[in-house]
Structure 1
């Protein structure tokens, strides 16, 4: 098809997906934006960093099956990585383009790696902002430590007791998430309280709810080899963006991915936690555009952006 700016509801593998195209007049390789969650949506991104990117790039948003404005699958079990890969394959076929760039944030960064591994000849460049490794133990350990670092005395006491009582890592992870309140989650995800408030306002304004189904399905899935063991085979140029205060996926995960990705650069944002796109929006956009335009790429040690 000939790409035209606008919003669409397109059927991918029997499910109607919400898709939005902006910046077609820029005539660039399409940059597909992949949201996180799992089970999130693009409502906030398309009102913050997205419009700035679309000033000079062709942007394609889409929301994953059962997420945001996209319809749900008939079965609550149909949220596997394999099915998300098949949906992406159909999306790219619908777009009718030879190659695309990928920008995935949070769990979307993990998906971007999966897509790049699955379709090595069809993905040009990849950008990972605070990427996750949902099925890894390191992800759970980072989050538990993150909540310990921002929690009040009662939360820290509870986590200490969980550890002393020899609960499994999985049990501690679940107990901590069930215990924390909204204010603690905001402190966990953001360094700037004003931005955290803005983000929560946009969440409420969107009226889009994360059911948690995708998260549970993916965490419980054991299909295929772990992503960590396959990252080294992903050869595209990759930019990894990480906030130095990221307590959700954290520097350990971004560093692990950077170490394994053979053609990657890691840039640290010194005023951000999990969402540099919100806490340092202009810098976030500028770094991405420089990378896509071949004006910034240095493999090797992390680069601190202040």
Structure 2
């Protein structure tokens, strides 16, 4: 591998890819971002820089996200398509085995990839993983907002839980009810983290969000991912922030408890973005896991 940016066209879509730390010649970490509809910018500007000091790190933006092109058909999004995109990128990079580094929704994709292509995965690293249960995610996010609000806002948030299932999508309304300070407390533990996010959100930062992608992915029925991962034999590191209001520590715990060969690291001063709030510790934990 050679450091630098690439454009890799797979399944008719041009994907932005960047390689860093190639000089270390390690089993590549391929970073899989969250969302659906996120990108790699935050990792690149924060914890990723420390990982590049000892590991070969491959960043890529998923189809329709960040610096990658959208598919010609705005409905051409699914878990299977995203997994196939990743598999074709692996082939294009001429990599036999790699270590998926999945954040949030990217953690779900990393686990699904390991189930579909077990021979291509050496180890797996997850940061605040989602589990493909969109109702549970919605409830978790609404309850997290309730825990840090009061008065009329909290009452309105509680009302979002009334009326029975399905809950998927109600968390979108919750985000619309809270102010910037509450959003900061929901996503981060340290007060300076939100300022850091604003600092790196420069004019050249990629756009965030893809509603077409989000809508299609959330149509997927409950897939019992936490039950199915019992078949994963590769070593898995689960990292979770104690104050993660997004996917939450409970989802990380349930992933860990169902893994045959897993370990868990709880970051006591992080929310959903360990890569931003405790990058030095994250790098240490990842490095130790890679050399085991």
Give the TM-score normalised by structure 2: 0.94
**Contact 1:66 1:72 survives alignment (8 Å):** yes
Query: Which residue of structure 1 lines up, in the alignment, with residue 209 of structure 2?
Result: 210
Q: Which residue of the partner structure matches residue 278 of structure 1?
A: 276
Alignment map for 1:1-306 (pairs within 5 Å): 3-163=1-161, 168-170=166-168, 172-205=170-203, 206-222=205-221, 225-294=223-292
Match of 1:297 in 2: none
Structure 1: gaps spanning 5 or more residues:
295-306
Counterpart secondary structure, 1:124: coil
Question: What do you get for the CA RMSD once the two structures are aligned?
Answer: 1.8
- CA distance in 2 between counterparts of 1:207 and 1:89 reads 24
Aligned equivalents of 1:241, 1:7: Cα separation in 2: 28
Give the distance between the partners of 1:160 and 1:16, measured in 2 at CA. 43
- How many Å apart are 1:261 and its aligned residue? 1.1
- Using the size of structure 1 for normalisation, the TM-score is 0.90
1:164 positional shift: 5.0
Count of aligned pairs: 291
User: Which secondary structure does the structure 2 equivalent of 1:220 belong to?
Assistant: coil
Asked if the contact 2:132/2:223 (under 8 Å) is kept, the reply is no
Q: Which runs of 5+ in 2 are unaligned?
A: none
| Gap change, CA 1:120 and 1:197, over 3 Å in 2 | same
SS of the equivalent of 1:121 reads helix
